[in-house]
Amino acid sequence: MDRNESAPAIVIRSERRGERDRVLTLLSPVWGIRCITVYGAQKSCRAVRASLYTEGVFHIYDNRERHQASLVDVDVITIHENALSGIASSFAATLMCEIVIDQKGTEAPAFYELLTGCLDILEDDNHKRVVTQFIIRALDIAGLSSDYEVCPVCGRPYAPDEVLGFNDRLASPCCHTCASMSVDLILPPNARRYVRDSLGVALERAMEYSVSDLMATRLMRYAIRLYRLSCPSSLRSAVALMELDGLA
């Protein structure tokens, strides 16, 4: 049976389909990840507009027989225009959405809160810290985080000045003794303290931690590499972002 449905959601991808239509990928705490069609989006000025990163209550019509849902209307909360205001913030926003899509709609309420929270504060100037916070929190939501206190391989608490390595069998940061020789991913003591402490507080509080630009650059590179080792995926936008920040 066909029916109308409404739920909060955010547009995480927007693609042309044919001459006239667009397909939006939504992340919703209720629906998870859902693709909907906006008929006439390219041509008709009467078509409902929902640009990339638009957050609001989406009203859709679900045609069960054709397995197709279409956009009827949207009550916009915010369009997150700051996310598209610069090149770095645009790449950062794309990367975060790519990670959400890579997680396939699991833990949707937590990812919705994390993504909308990060897009609310994202700017060119803070994009490295926002991306770092997004990734370490995303890994935590996915159940792939480490506590950065105790080596998960041998069970030994880390020494205060210890440099962590990475164990590829557990896909986790670990003490230097348990580190795999094949993966060169190290986390110095001050960076480990930042990751451990910021994971324990709200995003707004974590963004207040003072971090030098060099440290922010290293943390973002670490977070991106950590995500790729933990969840093998290509993350195309990560390459663009790292090139922009001179890291690739």
Q: Which residues bind Zn ion (CB under 5 A)?
A: 151, 153-154, 175, 178
**Phi, psi of 24, rounded to the nearest 5 degrees:** -100, 135
Q: Give the pairing type, strands 55-63 and 172-174.
A: unpaired
In eight-state DSSP terms, residue 231 is S
Q: Which is nearer to Zn ion, 74 or 175 (CB)?
A: 175
The whole-angstrom separation of Cα 219 and Cα 132 is: 6
Asked whether the beta carbons of 189 and 161 are under 8 A apart, the reply is yes
Q: Which is nearer to Zn ion, 182 or 210 (CB)?
A: 182
Q: How many CA atoms lie within 13 A of 94 on its CB side?
A: 17
Complete DSSP assignment for 133-185? HHHHHHHHHTT----SSB-TTT-PBPPTTPPBEEETTTTEEE-TTT--TT---
CB proximity list for 78: less than 8 A, separation 6 or greater: 54, 55, 56, 120
| Shortest distance, position 154 Cβ to Zn ion, whole Å | 3
| Shortest distance, position 221 Cβ to Zn ion, whole Å | 23
| Shortest distance, position 153 Cβ to Zn ion, whole Å | 4
In eight-state DSSP terms, residue 64 is T
| Shortest distance, position 149 Cβ to Zn ion, whole Å | 12
Q: Which is nearer to Zn ion, 60 or 178 (CB)?
A: 178
Q: Which is nearer to Zn ion, 101 or 183 (CB)?
A: 183
| Shortest distance, position 151 Cβ to Zn ion, whole Å | 3
| Shortest distance, position 171 Cβ to Zn ion, whole Å | 14
Q: Which is nearer to Zn ion, 32 or 165 (CB)?
A: 165
Q: Which is nearer to Zn ion, 92 or 151 (CB)?
A: 151
Asked whether the beta carbons of 152 and 170 are under 8 A apart, the reply is yes
Q: Which is nearer to Zn ion, 154 or 202 (CB)?
A: 154
CB proximity list for 125: less than 8 A, separation 6 or greater: none
| Shortest distance, position 104 Cβ to Zn ion, whole Å | 31
